[in-house]
Amino acid sequence: MAADRRPRVAAAAPPGRRSIPGGPGHGHGPASVSAYSSTTTTTTAAGGYESPDENNNHMPPLHALPHSHPPRPKPVPWQPHGSASAPHLGRGPGRDPEFELEAAGGTGTGNSSPRSLDDVLQRSQKLKTGKTSIGDRIAEFRWTWFTMTMATGGIANVLHTLPYNPAWLNGIGLAFYFLNLCLFILNTVLISIRFRLRPGSFVNSFTDQMESLFISAFLVSIATILITTCQYGVSHTSGWPVEPMEAMFWIYLGLSVVVSAGLYLTLWSTQVFPIHTMTPVWVFPAYPLLLTAPFGANLISAASQSSRLDLLNTVAVAVASVTVQGTGFLISFMVCAAFLYRLMTQKLPRDAQRPGVFISIGPAGFTAAGLVQLGSLSDVIFPADLMGTEHARFILRLMAYMAGLWLWGLSIWFFLVSVGSLWKYLRPDHKGKMPFQMTWFSFVFPNTALVTATEALGSAFESPGLRIFGCVLAACIIVVWVFVFFYMLRCLWRREL
């Protein structure tokens, strides 16, 4: 029989599935099969709509009819020739599941280390002792641990801004300041050891879909240390640290702009984040920009208290602070708008992602606090004949107060939404559990911005109600920090981190 010489035509995609270039019938390269394996199945409810399931599968279009498409076969992840087994996509107890993609998603870039913590824990279970070595645990140290120093430094900042600040309370704030220094040094040493034990893990952390978003936590931790240094150090000395702290301000300002832009550019070049995995943690690379105005305001205030304003270029510091702060807020505002779209189309985030909702409080809170603090210092910052009129400083102060009040209201709204997202965990019939991860410190750090903004407005408008409200919020945040910190120690003791 003569061979069939008709050209072969790739089989058409079944109904309900779009043909993917590079999928089956279009080539056999890793990239092509990866694109095919990243497709997800959809589920259709009786009314044609259903929220994504536990595997974060996409929902069907709103015009789709029930059972209008035949069931799709489950995609099989591509494996290179000679691989012994498929890559492990499960969650381990020590992994941060916030940005772990499910097996059906498959759009991630993999772990930032050659050996994941899941493999380490599986190996330890086979040992007679059932223990994981210290080296293995340090090798999995991640950037998310710097959220702890962000929160601890934020507590020290809050205690300093309280209007009722006796000596013993100032001593507690000073203790948090030194504790934050020790924790930051410890985190820096441990993550450096990790990069030494796992060559290439530093570069890979910038392309890891989960970890890359938290790299900026390192720079934000430095900002909290510098701000509290102005509060507890410069203002209680003869003023000699003013010039070194001004140099640190300009260095931090440049780093915050370069790091935030570089991180976002790296993410946009190497990652794909589906909208159903979106949380306000996407704002995190812009967080270093959001602390420039609080830093500048505290630096000017410390120089004023120590009577060394002659050593500081107050106008340049204030103008640069407002410029960079505005940039960070606008970036964060656009990301938060995308988060509202995600809430309208995909419901609230899942249990492991709920702590990230609180990050939406920070952008408006830090901006309000920075603007109000700078506005209250307008007589110190600007000359009396600014812009050729003696009323310019008063107008700037009034504008800063009004803008701060406006942003404070936005921060309060996000605070109510964030707290309300945790309501289901208080219901007696709720069976789910929120797994602990280092992002639990998001319950603390963004809320410190709300407290400082509240206290700044209370001082600006001389409102006892706002001051008392800020003190109540501060007490609640300190209790939350104590709970999260000791729960973290408990997980460390039980080898869950």
Q: Convert the pLDDT of each residue in 362-371 to its tens digit.
A: 999 999 999 9
Q: Is the pLDDT of residue 88 over 50?
A: no
The reported pLDDT for the residue numbered 91 is 38
Confidence of residue 386 (pLDDT cuts 50, 70, 90): confident
Topology adopted by domain 138-493:
Glycosyltransferase (1.50.10)
* Least confident segment among 158-162, 177-181, 400-404, 438-442: 438-442
Supply the mean pLDDT for the chain. Answer: 78
The reported pLDDT for the residue numbered 361 is 93
* Least confident segment among 151-155, 183-187, 268-272, 412-416: 268-272
Q: Is the pLDDT of residue 83 over 70?
A: no
Average pLDDT over residues 203-222: 90
pLDDT tens figures, 33-78? 344 344 443 333 433 333 454 444 544 444 444 444 445 555 555 5
* Least confident segment among 162-171, 337-346, 369-378, 432-441: 432-441
Residue, of 91 and 490, whose pLDDT is higher: 490
Q: Hey, which of 17-31, 115-129, 378-392, 402-416 has the most confident mean pLDDT?
A: 402-416
Residue, of 82 and 253, whose pLDDT is higher: 253
The reported pLDDT for the residue numbered 85 is 40
With CA atoms as reference, report the closest residue to 203 among 190, 219, 215.
215
Q: Is the pLDDT of residue 142 over 80?
A: yes
Q: Is the pLDDT of residue 167 over 70?
A: yes
* Least confident segment among 167-181, 225-239, 248-262, 396-410: 225-239
- The tokens describing 107, both together, are 């759009």
Residue, of 10 and 407, whose pLDDT is higher: 407
Residue, of 320 and 274, whose pLDDT is higher: 320
The reported pLDDT for the residue numbered 334 is 92
The reported pLDDT for the residue numbered 134 is 78
> Do residues 397 and 376 lie in contact, with contact meaning Cβ atoms separated by under 8 Å?
yes
pLDDT tens figures, 296-333? 999 999 988 888 888 889 999 999 999 999 999 999 99
The reported pLDDT for the residue numbered 239 is 64
Confidence of residue 425 (pLDDT cuts 50, 70, 90): confident
